[in-house]
Amino acid sequence: MNTFRIALLSAVLFFSFQCMAQAQEYGKIRALSQRAAYVTGQKNDFIAQVLTSYKILHEINGQGTVIRILMDDIWLNITAIEIVPVVRNTDGKTRQVTAHEIFFFTNDGILDLLSELTIR
């Protein structure tokens, strides 16, 4: 009888701790999702700001993502965008971001834009 009570108590404790662990994991996943949405918003704002500063006509969707740009009187659909920081070494070990190279991937090829604007 005592063995049954110990087994039952062990099972209850095990499942209680498992529920708490799942809640903690859910909190971490939720925090990561919120951070990813924030970073994506910053990226989208930066790209739109760069295109506007260079007077390149562009179209954005409801989430703020650049989906098309006008090049040589042709609208090009954007399939992906990569931002690569251009860094300069200063006083030995520190690196300073001096510009960003933005790659726009389209069905017709890759467009490359070097911008001295930096993400803040």
8 Å CB contact between 78 and 64: no
- Quick check: is 120 in a domain? no
- For the whole model, what pTM was predicted? 0.70
- pLDDT tens for the 120 residues of the chain, in order: 567 666 655 666 566 666 555 656 767 788 888 888 898 899 999 999 999 999 999 999 988 899 999 999 999 999 999 999 888 877 777 888 889 999 999 998 999 999 988 776
First-to-last C-alpha distance (Å) of the chain: 66
**69-40-102-57 Cα dihedral, nearest 10 degrees:** 20
- Quick check: is 16 in a domain? yes
Domain that holds residue 55: 2-115
The domain tally of the chain equals 1
- 109 pairs with which residues across the strands? 106
- Quick check: is 25 in a domain? yes
- Quick check: is 103 in a domain? yes
pLDDT tens profile 1-11: 567 666 655 66
CA–CA gap between residue 16 and residue 115 (Å, rounded)? 54
- Quick check: is 77 in a domain? yes
